[in-house]
Amino acid sequence: MPRPPRPRRQQREQQRAFRKTVRQLERLAAELPGGSPERPIDVASASVVETKARAIQCVQCDAIEMELRGDHASSTPRGVLRELAMVCRQCHAARAIWFRVAAGAN
């Protein structure tokens, strides 16, 4: 008769499964609009970038309480590419969201 698994072993297996799920969610989030520089969210004006970023749901816990931690902008021929570093207020998951402000917009 096999022994039942030890509690610590079960806990480690659950943690590994959880980390695997988080990695899969992050990989899928990179495929969403705004998830990478190759798939930015197009906006007409820079004034709506932060508002739109805060309205995006957390990919881990589905909360809509994202907090802006920083941003970086670079100029491209198609417009200004902006990366916003966001953190979920509930689960503290970090996420970068990319926006492209149309060329000629203020």
What would the pLDDT profile of 38-58 be if each residue is shown by its tens digit? 999 999 988 899 989 988 888
Q: What is the pLDDT of residue 104?
A: 64
Q: What tokens were used for 30?
A: 């990179």
In a domain, 2, yes or no: no
In a domain, 40, yes or no: yes
Give residue-wise pLDDT tens across range 70-89: 999 988 888 899 999 999 99
Q: What is the pLDDT of residue 15?
A: 92
Res. 6 pLDDT band, cuts 50 70 90: confident
Could you tell me the residue range of the domain that residue 93 belongs to? 7-102
In a domain, 95, yes or no: yes
For residue 106, the 8-state DSSP code is: -
Q: Provide the domain count of the chain.
A: 1
Give this prediction's pTM: 0.77
